[in-house]
Structures are given as C-alpha cells and as structure tokens.
C-alpha cells in the first residue's frame, strides 16, 4: 500500500472509530443500549453503512473483525503503558503510545481490561444477536483481503452437510428391509459358494442366459432343458446344457 493510499486508509478508519464511539450499543457495556438486541442491530447497520463507503462488498462479519483488530491492538498498547507505570519507572520512562489511533479510541479505557493475560473479544452472533467470548483473539489484516479467508468456513460447512447426507442415506439403506429379490439372490449366492470353480462358471452362464431370455419375454415352462442327454451321446456323465425352446403361439390339437 502506497503512502497516499495508507494515509487515506487511516483517515477513513478514524472516521469509522468516531462513529463507533457514537454508537454505545456496540461497545459500552455500562450502557442500557448494550443489552438491547434491536438497538445493537440498528447501530451495526448504521456503522456498516459507513464502512461500505470504502469497502462496498463488506458484510457485518468483516466489520466486526476489523473492530476487533482495532480493539486488540489498543489493548496491547494500553497494557504496555500500564505495565511500565506499575514497574515503578519514572515519568520520563513511562511508555508513550505509538499506536496511530490510540487517542481516538481511548474511550474504551475502563471497558477494556488490559491487565488480564487473556483478553476477551466481542463477536456479534448474527442469528441470535448475542455476544460470545473467546480467548486470545489474533489480529486480522487491515485490508479486505480477509474476504477470501472468510469463505473457508462456508466450504467446510458445505462438506460437512454432504458428509451428513451420505451417512444418512447409508443408514437408511442399512435399515431398509430386504426385498424378496434380495433374499433370493442371497440364497443363490450361498448355493453358488458351495460349487467348484468350474461348476460356478456353468451356473453363472446358465443364470445369465435365463435372465436375458426373461427380459426378452421368451421364457415358458418348457424353455429350459438341463443336462439333457442327446441321442448317440456315449458319455456316462451328462453335459450341462441350457437350451431354450421358443414359446409356441399356436395350440396343439388333442
């Protein structure tokens, strides 16, 4: 970011902080408005309108992340100053603030607790309008490049939804009772497993041929002849043969 752009960025952030100061429902825990959910939503919308002057695609989540970043840096700066005072250092040795917006955001003194080792950040819950606490909030970038990172939770949620849907379908299939066809197929599988490998091949071929003819609609009770010994065949062990005789459409006279 060039010096001119950086200066414009800082000027705009100071304007945002000034408006933030005028909206106590967003930061002043001692104000009655702070616990008023409707008032808080109204003031967030008002501040977001200001923030969109520079970042038109920003949403409330991005605005809150930016505010938390500003407050986190302020807490750190305030803690350094207070620590130097408690150390017994002379007036000339007390740390001077170097944060460029320190004076503009000093209204948070008394609200923030810089002496605690674990700081608390406020995030507005969009669905319930409540404040939740979390420890050690890390700084966020000062540019809207954060937007790309904000999309990651959405992708994770989508993957989680797909996973739940797959598990639900699998559970439904497992709980679904077997049909008559499933039971027949299972019984055939048991019998097939008892055969020698060579016999399994013949059995599979025979079943496949029968299913094929059945789908064509050409099966009838005399369609299949199994191990039929042809005249003149001198083999003592009959061959396996599955022979299909087309169904006659004319009736035989008695």
What does the pLDDT read at residue 72?
Answer: 95
Query: Contact, 244 vs 213, CB < 8 A?
Result: yes
Looking at residue 104, its pLDDT comes to: 96
Q: Is 169 helix (H, G, I), strand (E, B) or coil?
A: helix
Q: How many other C-beta atoms lie within 10 A of the C-beta of residue 247?
A: 12
- Sequence-separated (6 or more) residues with CB below 8 Å from residue 85: 94
The reported pLDDT for the residue numbered 112 is: 65
CA dist., res. 194 & res. 118, Å (int):
70
Residue-level pLDDT at 175: 72
Other Cβ atoms closer than 10 A to 20: 24
Strand extents, DSSP E, the chain: 123-124, 131-132, 225-226, 242-243
Instruction: Give the per-residue pLDDT at 119.
Output: 38
Name the token pair of 200: 């399994």
Q: What is the DSSP string of 41-96?
A: HHHHHHHHHHHTTT-TT--HHHHHHHHHHHHHHHHHHHHHHHHHHHTT--GGGSPP
Give the span between the Cα atoms of 224 and 242, in whole angstroms.
Answer: 6
Which pLDDT does position 116 carry in this prediction?
41
Backbone angles phi, psi at 112, to 5 degrees: -80, 155
Average pLDDT, consecutive stretches of 10 residues, N- to C-terminus, the chain (254 residues):
88 97 95 94 97 96 96 93 76 80 94 48 40 36 49 75 82 75 81 84 82 79 67 52 53 43
């Amino acid at each position: 970011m060039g010096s001119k752009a950086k200066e414009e960025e800082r000027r705009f952030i100071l304007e945002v902080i000034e408006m933030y100061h005028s909206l106590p429902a967003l930061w002043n825990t001692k104000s009655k408005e702070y616990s008023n959910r409707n008032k808080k939503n109204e003031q967030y919308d008002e501040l977001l309108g200001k923030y969109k002057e520079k970042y038109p695609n920003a949403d409330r989540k991005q605005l809150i992340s930016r505010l938390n970043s500003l407050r986190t840096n302020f807490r750190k700066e305030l803690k350094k100053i207070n620590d130097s005072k408690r150390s017994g250092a002379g007036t000339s040795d007390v740390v001077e603030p170097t944060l460029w917006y320190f004076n503009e955001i000093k209204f948070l003194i008394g609200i923030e607790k810089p002496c605690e080792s674990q700081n608390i950040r406020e995030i507005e819950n969009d669905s319930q309008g409540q404040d939740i606490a979390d420890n050690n909030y890390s700084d966020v970038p000062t540019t809207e490049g954060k937007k790309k990172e904000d999309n990651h939770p959405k992708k994770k949620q989508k993957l989680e939804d797909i996973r739940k849907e797959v598990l639900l379908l699998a559970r439904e299939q497992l709980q679904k009772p077997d049909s008559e066809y499933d039971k027949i197929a299972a019984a055939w599988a048991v019998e097939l497993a008892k055969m020698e490998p060579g016999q399994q091949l013949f059995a599979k071929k025979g079943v496949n041929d029968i299913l094929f003819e059945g789908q064509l609609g050409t099966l009838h009770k005399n369609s299949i002849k199994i191990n039929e010994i042809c005249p003149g065949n001198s083999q003592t062990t009959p061959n396996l043969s599955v022979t299909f005789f087309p169904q006659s459409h004319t009736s035989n006279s008695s």
